[in-house]
Amino acid sequence: MDIATISMDDVPANRKRGGDIRTLLSPTTAGATSGFLGTLTLAPGEVVREHWHPYSEEFLFCVSGAVAIRLDGERRRLAARQGLLVPIGVRHRLVNEGTGPAFFVFQLGPLAPRPELGHVDTEPLTEVVG
């Protein structure tokens, strides 16, 4: 049985929506069929631009640091050792307003029918401040 073990160092950072997003376990890297798992690192002042998922729930777990998260316009705080479920169709945006990095593990599932259908961006994919 060939079961993949993937390191954060094995996958490149995706910075399209902001921060350092690394998809570790996915259909491409591990043959996943039901979703994918990754990490997010946000430096102080970094943002993950607002988007939503038409097919997937997103599970966010803050390992260290803290962020302000906006869910359909409602502002919340997500701190270390806290988890949050972002339901299908809920717009979300994260901002690290702290002085140190914030590190997250996330999981999305189920998969969209095609990768390009997985995210709907509601904010321009250009440099965004806070």
Q: What is the pLDDT of residue 67?
A: 97
Domain-embedded: residue 1: no
Q: What is the mean pLDDT of each run of 10 residues along the chain (130 residues)?
A: 90 94 95 96 97 98 98 97 98 96 98 94 69
- Looking at the 3D structure of the chain, how many domains does it have? 1
Domain-embedded: residue 9: no
Exposure pattern of 79-102 as b/e (b: 16+ CB <10 Å)?
Answer: eeeeebebeeeebbbbbbebeeeb
Q: What is the pLDDT of residue 128?
A: 44
Contacts for 7-12 with beta carbons within 8 Å, 24 or more apart? 8/39
63: closest CA among 36, 45, 35, 42?
42
18: closest CA among 60, 38, 47, 44?
47
Which amino acid is it at 109? Answer: G
45 lies in which domain range? 34-112
Which amino acid is it at 94? Answer: L
Domain-embedded: residue 5: no
Q: What is the pLDDT of residue 4?
A: 85
Domain-embedded: residue 117: no
- State the pairing for strand pair 66-71/74-79: antiparallel
Torsion of CA 128, 11, 54, 61, to 10 degrees: -80
Domain of residue 45, CATH code: 2.60.120.10
Domain-embedded: residue 23: no
CA distance 103 to 88: 23
Domain-embedded: residue 74: yes
CB 69 within 8 A of CB 94: yes
Domain-embedded: residue 75: yes
SS3 call for 30 = helix
